[in-house]
Amino acid sequence: MEDAYIIKGGRSLKGEVKLSGAKNVALKIIIAALMFDQEVILKNIPRINDVFELFNLIVSLGGKGRFIEKNTVAVDGRTISKNKIDLIFGSKIRVSFMFFAPLLYRFRECYVPNPGGCRIGARPIDRIVEGMRSLNIKVDYDSTTGYYRAVMSGEPKGGYRFPKPSHTATEFLILLSIFGRDKIILDNAALEPEIDDLINFLNSCGADIKRDKNAIVVNPVKKLVQTLPYGIMTDRNEAITYATLALATKGDITIFSVREELIKAFTDKVIKVGGGVKKISPDRFRFYYKADIRPSRVETSPHPGFMTDWQQNWTVLMTQAQGESMVVERVFENRFSYIEELKKLGAKIEYYDLKVSDPEKYFLFNYDKNKTYRQAIKISGPQRLHEGVLQVTDLRAGATLAIAALMVQGESVVNGCSIMERGYEDFVEKITRLGGDIKKV
Ligand code: EPU
């Protein structure tokens, strides 16, 4: 299997990029579509590895999920005949735990293995399991098999207050609540706009879901019916990758279509460090190199903050800044795996001790005071990086290494690009159109 990029870097990337559909909506909305008693048509779904893995999982259960056009899919949960997910399929994508929702809807009892996905921390599912229990669902874990067994004896009821918000757990508990007995309130829910896209889809099919400040209120309905195909939002993480490429390669890239408020935390930082950003129309932005980049400090946080998925790209850019920059990761406990790879190119990056008065509150993961964490880095810039042979460790790290390879003079190899292609559609084609020299081998 072709799993590496050969990149000849050092060219300024210039041109336009049309963003693909958001991975983190596509996966959830496809799973939601399994809760309909009809075929569901979804548009703007990216052709990425995670979607193909998800279809493999759906087919393994007897359901249907396939592309019927370049970015249009048809999903049908009516033929699902198994209530147990095979470990081999479940371990490939983290969202496999969301299958509790369609499987409980169809069978009232199901078996789901501990989820897989990118290794960016312990990534427990305690908030999901607690949430299910508080919605009247019985869940047990069998450590000998690695499976959760869930049983729903009546309609979901009650409510849940997240101790700390969780993006996918919020989406999952919404799905579980749709066919509840009474109104269900999910408090301290996550605020990510991808969740709102899922809510819009469900409401367009008859659901009754509203946000009320930090809570989500789900009024029960009997069934979901799709009358028109639904097109999902574009991928703001992809937007940030191309914006960073424009700045890092001293290029000029126009990105569409993305709403301003969804990337504001990023564009604000770009302006602060002296990068060029121009709003061409409400959903079209030009990012371009203007002058030397100034150093910065970024701290990741949930929406509307600077996303955890953006810090990796930002770090590469900061290797070119005129001074020392800092990046603090608050959301995941292990999202700096790409640093060792960047060091291979000559980057000077060190961890530093972050003093936080209330770490349990400050960090979004389940903080354990007996553990040692490395959540903050210092990047010395400007550093002239050179070519190298790199290994992708997780999805966002993959994009970061590709940016680095495109930025430096000379030929680099980025191994493990299929991990990056779990989330980036047509990366080679898009880079080639921007004038980059990239080949998949
Ligand atoms: N967490 C727990 N227990 C839980 C759930 C979450 O401890 O039951 C922790 C996580 O380990 C993490 C923190 O809570 O440290 C916040 O995680 P969250 O649940 O919000 O993240 P997620 O739903 O697992 C999604 C995206 C991520 C994105 C984050 C933040 C999907 C499939 N994944 O993850 O995207 O970084 O939200 O917006 O939607 C990616 O696309 O590469 C990616 C990792």
Q: Is 308 in the pocket of ligand 1 (CB under 6 A)?
A: yes
Q: Is 332 in the pocket of ligand 1 (CB under 6 A)?
A: yes
Q: Is 127 in the pocket of ligand 1 (CB under 6 A)?
A: yes
Q: What is the mean pLDDT of residues 271-282?
A: 97
User: Does 369 lie in the same domain as 348?
Assistant: yes
CATH of the domain at 388: 3.65.10.10
Domain carrying residue 291: 4-20+234-440
Please give the pLDDT value at position 115.
80
pLDDT in tens, 195-240: 999 999 999 999 999 999 999 999 999 999 999 999 999 999 999 9
pLDDT in tens, 43-75: 999 999 999 999 999 999 999 999 999 999 999
Pocket test of ligand 1: the residue of 123, 301, 361 to mutate, having most ligand atoms within 8 Å of its CB, is 123
**pLDDT grade, residue 146 (50/70/90)?**
confident
pLDDT in tens, 153-206: 999 999 999 999 999 999 999 999 999 999 999 999 999 999 999 999 999 999
C-alpha count within 13 angstroms, C-beta hemisphere, residue 372:
3
Please give the pLDDT value at position 1.
79
Q: Is 192 in the pocket of ligand 1 (CB under 6 A)?
A: yes
User: Does 209 lie in the same domain as 185?
Assistant: yes
Q: Does the pLDDT of residue 314 top 70, yes or no? A: yes
| CB of 317 closer than 8 Å to CB of 274 | no
Atom of ligand 1 nearest to the CA of 165: 20
| CB of 315 closer than 8 Å to CB of 349 | yes
pLDDT in tens, 77-91: 999 999 999 999 998
Pocket test of ligand 1: the residue of 24, 95, 306 to mutate, having most ligand atoms within 8 Å of its CB, is 24
Please give the pLDDT value at position 118.
57
**Which one of 198, 231, 264 terminates a domain?**
231
User: Does 114 lie in the same domain as 28?
Assistant: yes
User: Does 350 lie in the same domain as 283?
Assistant: yes
Atom of ligand 1 nearest to the CA of 365: 15
**Which one of 231, 250, 268 terminates a domain?**
231
Ligand 1 centroid–CA 323 distance in Å is 32
Q: Does the pLDDT of residue 23 top 90, yes or no? A: yes
Please give the share of the chain, as a percent, with pLDDT higher than 70.
98
User: Does 243 lie in the same domain as 182?
Assistant: no
Whether 205 is a known active-site residue: answer no
Q: Does the pLDDT of residue 117 top 60, yes or no? A: no
User: Does 308 lie in the same domain as 184?
Assistant: no
Strand order in the sheet with 72-76: 64-69, 72-76, 39-43, 230-231
Please give the pLDDT value at position 383.
97
| CB of 236 closer than 8 Å to CB of 25 | no
Distance between first and last Cα of the chain: 8
Ligand 1 centroid–CA 122 distance in Å is 11
Ligand 1 centroid–CA 9 distance in Å is 32
Ligand 1 centroid–CA 331 distance in Å is 8
Q: Is 364 in the pocket of ligand 1 (CB under 6 A)?
A: yes
What domain count does the chain have? 2
Strand partners, 253: 15, 287
**pLDDT grade, residue 111 (50/70/90)?**
very high
pLDDT in tens, 359-374: 999 999 999 999 999 9
pLDDT mean across residues, the chain: 96
Atom of ligand 1 nearest to the CA of 394: 42
> Cα torsion at 311, 314, 318, 320 (round to 10°)?
150
- Residue with CA nearest ligand 1 atom 33: 24
Strand order in the sheet with 147-152: 109-113, 147-152, 137-142
Q: Does the pLDDT of residue 116 top 90, yes or no? A: no
- Residue with CA nearest ligand 1 atom 21: 167
Q: Is 126 in the pocket of ligand 1 (CB under 6 A)?
A: yes
User: Does 282 lie in the same domain as 333?
Assistant: yes
Question: Tokens 């050179």 map to which residue?
Answer: 386
Atom of ligand 1 nearest to the CA of 126: 8
User: Does 226 lie in the same domain as 163?
Assistant: yes
Ligand 1 centroid–CA 93 distance in Å is 13
Strand order in the sheet with 4-9: 389-391, 410-415, 4-9, 437-440
Q: Does the pLDDT of residue 31 top 90, yes or no? A: yes
pLDDT in tens, 390-420: 999 999 999 999 999 999 999 999 999 999 9
Q: Is 335 in the pocket of ligand 1 (CB under 6 A)?
A: no
pLDDT in tens, 130-144: 999 999 999 999 989
**Which one of 196, 211, 231 terminates a domain?**
231
Q: Does the pLDDT of residue 41 top 90, yes or no? A: yes
Ligand 1 centroid–CA 167 distance in Å is 6
User: Does 326 lie in the same domain as 301?
Assistant: yes
- Residue with CA nearest ligand 1 atom 24: 168
The 3-state secondary structure of the chain reads CCCEEEEEECCCCEEEEECCECHHHHHHHHHHHCCCCCEEEEECCCCCHHHHHHHHHHHHCCCEEEEEECCEEEEECCCCCCCECCHHHHCCCHHHHHHHHHHHHHHCEEEEECCCCCCCCCCCCHHHHHHHHHCCEEEEEECCCCEEEEEECCCCCCEEECCCCCHHHHHHHHHHHCCCCCCEEEECCCCCHHHHHHHHHHHHCCCEEEEECCEEEEECCCCCCCCCCEECCECHHHHHHHHHHHHHCCCEEEEECCCHHHCHHHHHHHHHHCCEEEEEECCEEEEECCCCCCCCEEEECCCCCECCCCHHHHHHHHCCCCCEEEEECCCCCCCCCCHHHHHHCCCEEEECCCCCCCHHHHCCCCCCCCCCCCCEEEEECCCCCCCCEEECCCHHHHHHHHHHHHHCCEEEEEECHHHHCCCCCCHHHHHHHCCCEEEEC
- Residue with CA nearest ligand 1 atom 23: 168
- Residue with CA nearest ligand 1 atom 9: 365
Q: Is 166 in the pocket of ligand 1 (CB under 6 A)?
A: yes
Ligand 1 centroid–CA 127 distance in Å is 11
Please give the pLDDT value at position 121.
60
- Residue with CA nearest ligand 1 atom 19: 166
User: Does 294 lie in the same domain as 189?
Assistant: no
* Whole-structure pTM value: 0.97
User: Does 249 lie in the same domain as 226?
Assistant: no
User: Does 267 lie in the same domain as 199?
Assistant: no
Atom of ligand 1 nearest to the CA of 194: 39
Pocket test of ligand 1: the residue of 364, 371, 396, 424 to mutate, having most ligand atoms within 8 Å of its CB, is 364
Whole-number Å distance between alpha carbons of 193 and 33: 19
Ligand 1 centroid–CA 166 distance in Å is 6
